[in-house]
Amino acid sequence: MMWVTHVVFGLLLYIIAVHLGFLPYETSYFVIVGIASLIPDIDHPGSKISKLLRLKKISEKLTHRGFLHSAYPALLLFLGAYLLACYSGFSEKAITVGVLLVIGYVSHLVLDSLNPTGVKWIYPRAKVRGPIKTGSYGELAILFIVSYALSILFFSSVLRMLINKDTLLMALGISIIISAAMGGEVIFRRS
């Protein structure tokens, strides 16, 4: 799959978790999930993340869709984040970052499982593969559907955060105060 499909799908899974109340909304979390959704492709010298982090020499020594395209690195990421959480006194942020890394990483593996090359979830066995070739109309359809779903959920989550009972009451109160200060002409127009 193309890098943009991986990023958008990872972000969709994050915003679903936010929408369901499992994770907090924070702008920096989008970056974490986006980067984590590209990490498995460090094993490919031409990948966006290998170029971005200048890891071409390391990438050339790794087998593409090998160990990094399995569940083990996702577990190691979570374990590392868990140890960080232990060290930080189980801060909620450290645990959240661990979950975000796993969401991004696993989202990548899920999409690559739809590709004919597939993914060995339990490396070196248990290969899962599908019919959708990288850059094909099938992938573009997935990208369109995932982008559309992400847009809807993102904006509904933002609106839900902005338009809650307290925010509406506060906005109404501010409007009334401004209106009163201006002689009632803003909201309550005098005839």
For the chain, the domain total comes to: 1
Across the range 149-155, mean pLDDT stands at: 85
What span, in angstroms and rounded, lies between the C-alpha atoms of 29 and 34? Answer: 8
Report if residue 128 sits inside a domain.
yes
Report if residue 70 sits inside a domain.
yes
Percent of the chain with pLDDT over 90: 31
Question: For position 29, what pLDDT does the model report?
Answer: 94
CA-based max dimension of the chain: 79
Question: For position 187, what pLDDT does the model report?
Answer: 43
Higher pLDDT, 30 or 157: 30
**What's the whole-model pTM score?**
0.77
Report if residue 73 sits inside a domain.
yes
Report if residue 25 sits inside a domain.
yes
Cis check for the bond before 124: say yes or no (omega within 30 of 0).
Answer: yes
Q: Is the pLDDT of residue 182 over 80?
A: no
Domain that holds residue 108: 3-163
Report if residue 170 sits inside a domain.
no
Higher pLDDT, 150 or 106: 106
Report if residue 191 sits inside a domain.
no
Mean pLDDT, rounded, of the chain: 82
Helix H, strand E, coil C: the string for 149-182 is HHHHHHHHHHHHHHCCHHHHHHHHHHHHHHHHHC
Higher pLDDT, 188 or 7: 7
Contacts of 183 (CB under 8 A, 6+ apart): 190
Question: For position 14, what pLDDT does the model report?
Answer: 94
- The least confident of 46-60, 69-83, 176-190 is 176-190
Q: Is the pLDDT of residue 87 over 90?
A: no
Q: Is the pLDDT of residue 173 over 70?
A: no
145 CB neighbour count, 10 Å cutoff: 13
Across the range 163-188, mean pLDDT stands at: 56
Question: For position 107, what pLDDT does the model report?
Answer: 97
Report if residue 181 sits inside a domain.
no
Across the range 165-188, mean pLDDT stands at: 55
Could you give the count of Cα atoms lying within 13 Å of 48 in the half-sphere of its Cβ? Answer: 13
Percent of the chain with pLDDT over 70: 83
Report if residue 40 sits inside a domain.
yes
